[in-house]
Chains A and B, each alone.
Chain A
Amino acid sequence: MIEVRNLSKTYGDVTAVEDVSFIAEKGEILGFLGPNGAGKTTTMRVLTCYLPPSSGSAIVDGFDVVEESMEVRRRIGYLPEFPPLYADMTVSSYLTFVAKIKGVPSAQLKSRMDEAMEKTGIAHQRNNVIGHLSKGYRQRVGLAQALVHNPSVLILDEPTVGLDPRQIIEIRETIKALRGEHTIILCTHILPEVSMTCDKIVIISEGCIVGEGTPESLMSQLKEGEVLRAQIAGPSDEIRELLSGIDGVLDVVDDDTAAPKDGDEQAYIVTAAPGHDIRDLVAKRIVDGGHGLRELRGLEMDLEDIFLQLTTQEAEA
């Protein structure tokens, strides 16, 4: 289990992480999602005892990262943003070295290494020099390194960077297969990655947490407000006024992403307050007003939109 409480980290004047709190339960995969520079890597570095927090605390498997750093370090496997590899070593000598400094007993050394290589699909590369491996295989060696001592907590910072699509799927499957045995934090800015692999998502932007929950709850939380897309023929000023006048409508904007249609047709995005089903009302008013209703549909908000909405709101603030 990982428990982060009011964690802040500043580099000089730069505040990288501010008042972040979250919990990852034992055996679950927590997706730590955020755009570039959001503070993901910084948070992971605090969790792995690489950097001390400026304030707040983090508890990993019941041990404080500052006070009982050695105990924490015994329990974590960490794949940093840049895999920490020695280019002049072979895969197996590198993994042996890592296993030793992670405290794997000599008797288990071989079986642990074989298992880690097996899980990450690098067994056939064991005698190759790391410096000569492709980027994707290096990433896998990095992952094997994080797994080799069978840690109860796994922290993976963008594990699929630099992999080809097939490898990405494989690595995600590997990570999913680890669920249950290990508590996993998966950092990424790639949405499908979290929606596909994670039990829980924490969204961070500019150092602050802006959203948290299961993929489903995050979606329903934001879907409360109904969003409609309506394609209507007629004078746009008049129509915009008409739509805004409907009870429960919060916002009307032109949908400029759609290709311009012939004549005076225009698409509008209508956002309603939560709990208002305005579809019938919109249709009735448009037709009553004598305009041509060409298309009307509810918009599904997917994680992508939620992510964008959450992270851009923060940026504007």
Chain B
Amino acid sequence: MRNFFAVYTKELRSYFVSPVAYVIAGVFLFLSGYLFRNILMSFNFYCQQFSQRSQFMSGAGMPQLNLNEMVVTQFFGVMDFIWLMVVPMLTMRLFAEEKKSGTIELLMTSPISTVQILMGKFLACFTLYNLIVALTLVYPLILEVYGDPDWGPIWTAYLGYFLLGGTFVGVGILASAVTENQIVAVLLAFGGLLLLWLIDWSATFAGPTAAKILHSVSIIEHLQGFQRGVIDTKDVVFYLSFTFFTLFVTSRVVESRRWRR
């Protein structure tokens, strides 16, 4: 436990002493802020059109404008793609840098288990991820000030991001463990995540059984329920087991040095 904590604080510290954490948080908040603004503007535009039209139409045939559906869901739907690009940059150095600089030799020859090293690194990165995610709470708060959003789906969407983050960081850390080149680690993580994302797409052309399988491994498919305010155990289990799987494979990769004779 103490070992784990030493690695955890060391990793977290190194995010904050280098500009990495600030730059990534800054870029992320800028992009998401920009998107949020655009989504709000278009919502505003619809509202105006809507109120003009409603002078001529009335009654049951009129569609409802919903702040949650039109702003919240859309915003969260775009944010996950930004994370897909950002997380590999957070994870790239975790193992690759240790291998490149030779510090992995210190870790591997110290009385500390691979699981402790891995969990220290994973949770440090995951903490940073959640800190940046927490900063985006400012957008729903803005909505709260000017409108009346339904907080239920917002909280479930954040739960979805929490779970998704674990998976993203898991894939990223695995990519970092297989190479000593940080650029390669970024590209592998990005490619891997994108594939897991787009796999959903090919389901459209696949047979019924294949489509079902493809749907079920798509990391994005499982997020949609959360964004609509639905917590499905199936989705929770998917993210948790996916995260566990990537961590397990990573620990095997890191350990492999010890048994490759």
Seen from chain A, the residues whose Cβ lies within 8 Å of a Cβ on chain B are 45, 48-54, 69-70, 73-74, 76, 78, 80-89, 93, 97-98, 100-103, 145
Of residues A53, A76, A100, A103, which shows the largest number of chain B Cβ atoms within 10 Å of its Cβ? A100
Could you pull out 17 A-B pairs where Cβ atoms are within 8 angstroms?
A48-B105, A50-B108, A50-B257, A52-B258, A52-B261, A69-B258, A70-B111, A74-B111, A76-B109, A80-B106, A84-B105, A86-B10, A89-B13, A89-B14, A98-B106, A98-B110, A101-B7
Look across to chain B and name the residue whose beta carbon is closest to the beta carbon of A74. B111
Partner of B260, one of A52, A82, A100: A52
Task: State the CA gap A232–B70 with chains docked (Å).
Answer: 106
B152 proximity list for chain A (CB < 8 A): none
B109 proximity list for chain A (CB < 8 A): 48-50, 73, 76, 78
B104 proximity list for chain A (CB < 8 A): 84
Task: State the CA gap A84–B103 with chains docked (Å).
Answer: 4
B112 proximity list for chain A (CB < 8 A): 101
- Asked whether B17 lies within 8 Å of A88 as measured between CB atoms, the reply is yes
B26 proximity list for chain A (CB < 8 A): none
Task: State the CA gap A103–B110 with chains docked (Å).
Answer: 9
- Asked whether A86 lies within 8 Å of B103 as measured between CB atoms, the reply is yes
- A75 CB to closest chain B CB, in angstroms? 9
A84 proximity list for chain B (CB < 8 A): 101-106
- Asked whether B110 lies within 8 Å of A101 as measured between CB atoms, the reply is yes
| B interface residues, tally (CB under 8 Å) | 27
- Asked whether B2 lies within 8 Å of A100 as measured between CB atoms, the reply is yes
Task: State the CA gap A145–B109 with chains docked (Å).
Answer: 12
Q: Is B6 an interface residue (CB 8 A)?
A: yes
Q: Is B107 an interface residue (CB 8 A)?
A: yes
Partner of B105, one of A80, A86, A100, A101: A80
- B65 CB to closest chain A CB, in angstroms? 51
B233 proximity list for chain A (CB < 8 A): none
- Asked whether A100 lies within 8 Å of B3 as measured between CB atoms, the reply is yes
Task: State the CA gap A131–B107 with chains docked (Å).
Answer: 19
Q: Is B18 an interface residue (CB 8 A)?
A: yes
- Asked whether B110 lies within 8 Å of A88 as measured between CB atoms, the reply is no
Give me 6 other A-B pairs in contact (C-beta within 8 A), A50-B257, A88-B18 excluded.
A49-B108, A49-B109, A82-B102, A86-B14, A98-B106, A101-B110
